[in-house]
Amino acid sequence: MNFLQNPPRFLFFTGKGGVGKTSIACASAIELAASGKRILLVSTDPASNVGQVFGITIGNQITDIPAVANLSALEIDPQAAAQVYRNRIVDPVRGVLPDDVVRGIEEQLSGACTMEIAAFDEFTALLIDSKQTADFDHIIFDTAPTGHTIRLLQLPGAWSGFLAEGKGDASCLGPLAGLEKQRAQYKAAVDALADPIRTRLILVARAQQATLREVARTHEDLADIGLAQQYLVINGVLPESEARQDPLAATIAQREQAALANIPEVFKNLPTDLLALKPFNLVGLPALQQLFTDVQSAAPSLDASTSDFAAPNLSTLVDQIAADGHGLVMLMGKGGVGKTTIAAAVAVELAHRGLPVHLTTSDPAAHLSETLVGSLDNLTVSRIDPHEVTEQYRQQVLTSKGAQLDTQGRALLEEDLRSPCTEEIAVFQAFSRIIREAGKKFVVMDTAPTGHTLLLLDATGAYHREVAKKMDQAKLHYLTPMMQLQDPKQTKVLLVTLAETTPVLEAANLQADLQRAGITPWAWVINNSIAMAGAKSPLLQQRAQNELREIDLVVNQHAQRYAVVPLLKDEPIGVPRLLALAEHSQK
């Protein structure tokens, strides 16, 4: 592995959920420990459980791993860290400020950005040669801070009561005053990250065009602030031997090779490793020890077959959606799970039944909307450019809120407006003009904000709650935008996921976040299922068998109703293939 050659003291693995960064971090720790080096493995990923992988309880303390000589581990729970961080800020003002203001501050501090800053606060000491880590040759982190977080920590005056001074009304992040360490410690930590002698960043991706484009943006974002010592690992590449055994496997291999042949220009000079897709789940020491080796796939046993697997298809969900005659259908899920394709399939299926549909997409690759425009009666398509509307929103906020700020305050506001939540807000505001049509037709939206962002956006804040109380007393009828989203008769949220451990866990966390905002997802859609596809390749058959446990988890623990969409041989582009995708069921 190129990325393990002459490793510096710190190795950071970064990538989107489900690409395998935690597994690769664990396998790297095992490999380096086997060479006689003392290794500390640090988990800060809420979707990982290093303790479970090694069969012991770890928690927030350095713990030796008995099964692996020279290896210790530490688990930082970012949600617990964020709660401690919130309490440091909010507890002193409880009972001093009005309850509504306190709730507002708590919500400001409930987003992903705050969780990332709190996790960084926790592992800062590990980066600056403290006594705690002096005995270790290498420290491996299974996730890395984003460029956005690092830039925030570098800003002068960033921890001076931003929200308390009324500067952060547009902010999803709120104050940085809860940071516990001294500014000098954060500077030393950021310097360690940017030092190629001490730190190496490993970008983990899959051989898919969308995933590679996304990780290319991460590469540029981090390189721009001096974190240029980067390696690329493309994980889960289907072996050629499997492609010869199965038309579906052959198609997957062709797509992957096309993505690799058209890899973004910024990666062409980076040291790159390809890791083959494994037939087994990467849990447990024996599995992790095989991650960097070639493994032959044995044919699965008869009782492991998925040939009799059946599940509701997407069309069965559309039957229930169509019965209402109109309404808002919002597709939600983490990146790379196929939200846009499923949204298009739902829209096409509804329009095919003679129902009026407006599909609105923020898909940056406009080919989908171009394929659909004017190609089906009853269907209209609009596209929102997320970059364009986000920039408009930023300028609007900087003009209004930023006008009265000093240089430090404006710098913090500008950085805060680069957060992922800002794009969610801007895109949703652009979508909201179309949502009104849902009273007369179906509006299908291919993306939606998290519960946290909806709570920030919610017009039913303290003022509107007071108005609502008065309207209740006067027996007047009223409807706020949030009330429309909370009403399952008017809005149906479909959570899209994959039948893999991390995407299912991320979707469950997203569901819990929505429920905080009073929105319960109406259904789950498990996309690109190998179990539903009837694969004949031994490796894919074993992967299909692994999917059944995740599908069972969705059905029995998470979803009120669900559908499973197969991994298709032909990409579902265009009306005929989208209709086939919606109606497909296992034969």
In whole angstroms, what is the distance from residue 446 CA to residue 578 CA? 15
Q: How many CB atoms lie within 10 A of CB 490?
A: 17
What order do you get walking across the sheet with 63-64 strand by strand?
63-64, 71-75, 39-43, 138-141, 10-14, 199-206, 230-237, 272-276
Residues labelled as active-site residues: 18, 20-23, 45, 502
In this structure, are strands 71-75 and 63-64 parallel, antiparallel, or unpaired? antiparallel
CA-nearest of 149, 15, 18 to 501 is 18
CA torsion, points 204, 209, 213, 216, in degrees to nearest 10? 40
Look up residue 154 and give its two tokens: 């570098």
Query: Does residue 465 carry a pLDDT above 70?
Result: no
Look up residue 503 and give its two tokens: 């995407």
Residue that wins the pLDDT comparison between 116 and 298? 116
Query: What is the pTM assigned to this prediction?
Result: 0.84
User: Could you tell me which CATH class the domain 314-387+425-583 is placed in?
Assistant: alpha beta
What order do you get walking across the sheet with 357-361 strand by strand?
379-383, 357-361, 442-445, 327-332, 491-498, 523-529, 562-566
What is the amino acid identity at position 4?
L
Under 8 Å between Cβ of 69 and 524: no
In whole angstroms, what is the distance from residue 160 CA to residue 191 CA? 22
CA-nearest of 2, 63, 64, 4 to 31 is 4
Give the pLDDT confidence score for residue 461 in this predicted structure. 46
Under 8 Å between Cβ of 118 and 78: yes
pLDDT grade for 303, boundaries at 50, 70 and 90: very low
For the chain, domain boundaries? 2-294, 314-387+425-583
CA atoms within 13 A on the CB side of 507: 33
Helix H or strand E encompassing 542:
helix 538-553
Query: Does residue 330 carry a pLDDT above 90?
Result: yes
In whole angstroms, what is the distance from residue 428 CA to residue 436 CA? 13
Under 8 Å between Cβ of 199 and 10: yes
pLDDT of 213-267, one tens digit each? 889 989 998 998 888 889 999 999 999 888 887 899 999 999 999 999 999 999 9
Under CATH, which number does the domain 2-294 receive?
A: 3.40.50.300
CA-nearest of 85, 165, 79, 88 to 412 is 165
pLDDT of 563-572, one tens digit each? 999 998 887 8
Give the pLDDT confidence score for residue 7 in this predicted structure. 95
**Where do the H-state alpha helices sit in 35-172?**
50-54, 78-90, 99-108, 112-127, 147-154
- Whether 2-294 and 314-387+425-583 share one fold: the answer is yes
In whole angstroms, what is the distance from residue 273 CA to residue 20 CA? 14
Under 8 Å between Cβ of 327 and 492: yes
pLDDT of 168-192, one tens digit each? 444 555 556 667 677 788 888 888 9
pLDDT of 193-223, one tens digit each? 889 899 999 999 999 888 898 899 899 989 9
| CB-neighbour burial class of residue 571 (10 A; exposed 0-12, middle 13-18, buried 19+) | exposed
Tell me the pLDDT of the chain averaged across its residues.
83
